Chain A
């Protein structure tokens, strides 16, 4: 009882401190993790086994952590080291790509391909944002896309705000399509034993349909806001996309590593390579080709996010070990009366609304044990609930300026360049699109699985 109460108090305190944004969030989760170990597992449960299961270090030394010959299996809970190692590897690869100018080159190349026309830039950048976010973290995608959008807007005299808003939305949407696109997905995938193919054929299919719908929606509602009426003679502009490449050899090698990462991820169910070993491989390759720039790349790796994950998993492990999350699962089951359609609707909209205001990573990590229990007790297939949770958390985050990291970064880049996007402007533009995608997703889930 004491352990359960402490687990809930620590969890709520962690959430409130993350929302308040006064203390850096990795310090919050790590401090709460220490409190969980001391008060929940130690004083409350007197259980070394609970600590061992939550820290989950032994898992790293098993062969199945790196290579799985058969079906991917569910992880045992606690710290999801596969997620952390994979994200670290991807961060290193992305920093390597950024160093050589890959993202700026890609954006400039596409802008040139559409002859620097604002509306085609608006549409192609939405698609580019979605596609890149399928494989690369949405923060990096938006960091580069928003900066290039502002640069192009200044040169081509168009309004960058609608373009940035739609890029943010499409990055979150693209992230929902794959196992590695958004942190909730990688946590769901590694915790519940799903593969890249499982995601792309389920959430990916829904994201593709949704992308078509939102591109049409955004075109209808925003295309008039983009043009400022000023005509620019594009031929007079001296823009050469290849000039942004800082290291030609490094550029080619980084591009090859990126393609290899995509191939390894797409085929990981067939090759048996887990996301953990893929993370290690691409990081190692990036180091090899980076030579003297290794330190520069390492310094840019967002280690705070990795520490945030470690602390978070321990705190959620506290809720899991004390069976608190089973109570939440029971509550959802009671409200839905065991009806699968109502259960899916609750998970989808609850995840979406929660993710619009709070960080979707702790929310997803908390909900995984809940849906696991729900599936066992209600008989609703776990994968249906996993796809619902992934879409709810990934898409719901788009609804407000604080819902997802990509939104924060997109707005921050715009703001720093003199284009403040107010809450009102943001929500009026993106809440309807969020609702559209959630309705499409719910319909797809109902029609395909229930």
Chain B
């Protein structure tokens, strides 16, 4: 079977992670999200919680410096650990689904990559976050704004492509219109057509 890598970028509250989980199950592929850091921590014999604090966060410009190509930004170093991990897995020929982590940019040279970005209507995202995180509407709204800002800054600091810009992905999909399960089916169908064409 040819290598298949599905990268799923997502707005906060769009259900992108859930779509990635269901898609991975449907396709019988391994899913990489935060668990990547758990594996990295295990491999390096270090504390996962210490690394997780800096996961998918942008580099703090004023508080960090770079000397001889070495940065003291943990956000930057931990992001690069994950990028190396993904490149290694992809180079070994593994097929997988990966959530976030600039994967559509990091793995753009791999032929088997299919990149997806999941967005959602703001009201649907507020409802989803209120339900899942047990928050009030205003709390959910500010959480969405905060997380999206962080994800955008994180992504754009590592990639020349803009976060969520439709021109950078194979599919951008509004999950609010179809719902999670239909979105999964639609992406799976697209993947199927793409793999047939190869």
Contacts and interface: CB of A to CB of B under 8 A. Distances in A.
Given A409-B70, A413-B70, A418 B51 contact: yes
A418 B46 contact: yes
A47 B73 CA distance: 44
A128 B71 CA distance: 24
A302 B77 contact: no
B67 A419 contact: no
Contact of A19 (B44, B53, B62, B68): B62
Interface stretch (A110-118, A205-213, A247-255, A400-408): A400-408
A402 B64 contact: yes
Contacts of A416: 70, 77, 80-81
Interface in A412-439: 412-413, 415-420, 422-423
A121 to B, nearest CB: 18
Interface string B41-57: 10011110011011000
A154 interface: yes
B50 A302 contact: no
Interface size class of B (residues with CB under 8 A): 20 to 34
A51 B67 CA distance: 30
Nearest to B69: A412
Nearest to A426: B72
A20 B78 contact: no
Contacts of A415: 72-74, 77-78
Interface residues of A, number: 24
A240 interface: no
A417 B47 CA distance: 11
Nearest to A304: B68
A417 B50 CA distance: 12
Interface in B73-107: 73-74, 77-78, 80-81
B162 interface: no
Nearest to A405: B67
A417 B65 contact: no
B72 A408 contact: yes
21 contacts: A19-B62, A21-B64, A21-B66, A22-B61, A401-B64, A401-B65, A402-B72, A408-B65, A408-B72, A409-B67, A409-B72, A412-B72, A415-B72, A416-B77, A417-B44, A418-B40, A418-B41, A418-B50, A418-B51, A420-B50, A420-B51
Interface of A: 19-22, 139, 154, 302, 401-402, 405, 407-409, 411-413, 415-420, 422-423
